[in-house]
């Protein structure tokens, strides 16, 4: 029998090669390449799967069969992000920065699901059972019927789950799990991939929902090979800034619901509290109209959210002025500055530009272009935008303003929070029941001339 060829894998990016080297050619990391031991393939007659692996015709599937029932935990924000509740047999990966509150969120969710009648096991590979119980006592969850376990051996965990047969199992975290048949250290690419594959397959076979907690890298991505995110059904990121009490649970992948959906929580002394009206919370500390402050009416998933963009433009003594951005794409900021200079004749050379999204929120929507441009111009000209006005619209490289989707929902959310006016691109479908005074703009030059009296 021919000897299996050795494979070497980078712990940082997951790239594979046939020989070892001191530096990974894909990501440039040093001393990150380790030998990967391939999994042994058993005989075909004893392979797992059974009837699950057999093929059937698509036309044989009954259209009258009801979808698997979802279980709601009672936390409206979590149920929203999951797509309406927990689907039986689903695999969910939750990632976030250290200390952001992942374990707190999942312990509260485990207690909610257990109280809803779902047998739940919380397996901790980072803490002892007494430490988890101490956190549950602080959160007031000691009466919840959640079973706790502290274990890192994957074989023992699978045996326990197969014996207990819970409906929900939470594994905290996947980087601490190790399989005894894989010859590498816990947390390596081989161990993480093997543990995720075994647990995901087990979830599908037994109909048990499995939640995996994943660490993140310095770039904010879930550590380990990206194939783990492809294995699971749902990938959630728990985001937030240390200086803010807000926490955002964002779905970046969901096979059972909409992606890019968000749930907003507030960190308190007794754990995470739901925020049912995030727009009011993000704007609660907003002061009187000030230059550089603009409210943007955005959409996160299916929910309209109003956030405040803050800009500061100041003379720079540096040969290359600063461009500092928090909560938005720095490349898109450079594009907005270039369009303002090329199409409107407003230069920002020799000026430091600082842009911030208040409340620690992260915005990736192109509809925020016009709000950013308004904040920059307001800060540069030292002229405040009226406090009761919201702004949204996409800016093209020609300086034209493009309409954005779900305009009516944005306007309804703004009206609900007491705003009376809006600035939007022409051809926007505003509807007739918004009740706001809508000022429509065709291009950026007209916007500058109409709002700031120049251009």
Could you give the CA distance from residue 349 to residue 318 in angstroms, rounded to a whole number?
11
Answer yes or no: is 103 a known binding residue. Answer: yes
CB 151 within 8 A of CB 123: yes
CB 425 within 8 A of CB 401: yes
CB 20 within 8 A of CB 35: yes
Q: What are phi and psi of 252, to 5 degrees?
A: -100, -15
Answer yes or no: is 102 a known binding residue. Answer: yes
Strand 401-402 and strand 262-268: pairing? Answer: unpaired
Could you give the CA distance from residue 348 to residue 406 in angstroms, rounded to a whole number?
33
Q: Which residue has the tokens 């002061």?
A: 287
Angle at 361 between CA 358 and CA 367, to 5 degrees: 95
Q: What are phi and psi of 132, to 5 degrees?
A: -65, -40
What six digits make up the tokens of 167?
Answer: 């409906």
What six digits make up the tokens of 306?
Answer: 């109003």
Answer yes or no: is 96 a known binding residue. Answer: yes
Answer yes or no: is 271 a known binding residue. Answer: no
Angle at 229 between CA 226 and CA 234, to 5 degrees: 165
Answer yes or no: is 362 a known binding residue. Answer: no
What six digits make up the tokens of 435?
Answer: 């009740």
Answer yes or no: is 97 a known binding residue. Answer: yes
Answer yes or no: is 224 a known binding residue. Answer: no
Angle at 68 between CA 62 and CA 69, to 5 degrees: 135
Answer yes or no: is 423 a known binding residue. Answer: no
Residues of each annotated binding site for ATP: 96-103
Residues of each annotated binding site: 96-103
């Amino acid at each position: 029998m021919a000897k299996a060829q050795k494979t070497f894998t980078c712990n940082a990016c997951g790239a594979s090669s046939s020989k070892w080297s001191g530096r990974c050619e894909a990501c440039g990391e040093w001393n990150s390449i380790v030998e990967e031991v391939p999994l042994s393939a058993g005989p075909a007659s004893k392979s797992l799967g059974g009837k699950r692996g057999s093929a059937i015709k698509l036309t044989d599937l009954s259209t009258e069969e009801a979808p698997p029932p979802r279980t709601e935990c009672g936390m409206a924000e979590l149920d929203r992000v999951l797509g309406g509740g927990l689907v039986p047999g689903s695999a969910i990966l939750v990632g976030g920065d250290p200390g952001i509150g992942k374990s707190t969120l999942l312990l509260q969710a485990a207690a909610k699901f257990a109280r809803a009648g779902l047998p739940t096991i919380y397996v901790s590979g980072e803490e002892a059972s007494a430490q988890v119980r101490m956190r549950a006592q602080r959160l007031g969850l000691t009466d919840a019927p959640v079973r706790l376990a502290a274990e890192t051996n994957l074989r023992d965990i699978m045996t326990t789950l197969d014996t207990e047969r819970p409906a929900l199992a939470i594994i905290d975290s996947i980087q601490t799990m190790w399989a005894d048949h894989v010859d590498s250290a816990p947390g390596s690419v081989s161990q993480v991939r093997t543990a995720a594959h075994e647990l995901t397959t087990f979830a599908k076979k037994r109909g048990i929902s499995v939640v995996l907690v994943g660490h993140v890298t310095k770039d904010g991505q879930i550590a380990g090979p990206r194939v783990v995110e492809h294995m699971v059904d749902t990938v959630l990121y728990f985001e937030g800034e240390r200086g803010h009490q807000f926490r955002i649970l964002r779905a970046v992948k969901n096979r059972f619901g909409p992606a890019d959906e968000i749930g907003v929580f507030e960190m308190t002394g007794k754990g995470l509290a739901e925020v049912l009206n995030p727009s009011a919370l993000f704007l609660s500390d907003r002061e009187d109209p000030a230059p550089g402050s603009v409210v943007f009416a955005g959409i996160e998933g299916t929910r309209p959210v109003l956030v405040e963009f803050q800009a500061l433009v100041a003379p720079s003594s540096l040969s290359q002025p600063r461009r500092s951005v928090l909560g938005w794409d720095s490349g898109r900021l450079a594009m907005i500055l270039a369009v303002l200079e090329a199409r409107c004749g407003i230069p920002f050379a020799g000026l430091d530009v600082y842009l911030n999204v208040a409340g620690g929120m992260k915005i990736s929507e192109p509809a925020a272009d016009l709000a950013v441009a308004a904040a920059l111009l307001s800060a540069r000209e030292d002229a405040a935008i009226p406090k009761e006005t919201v702004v949204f619209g996409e800016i093209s490289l020609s300086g034209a303003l493009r309409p954005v989707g779900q305009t009516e929902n944005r306007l309804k959310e703004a009206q609900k929070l007491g705003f009376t006016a809006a600035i939007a691109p022409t051809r926007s479908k505003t509807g007739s029941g918004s009740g706001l005074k809508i000022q429509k703009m065709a291009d950026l030059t007209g916007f500058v001339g109409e709002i700031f009296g120049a251009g």
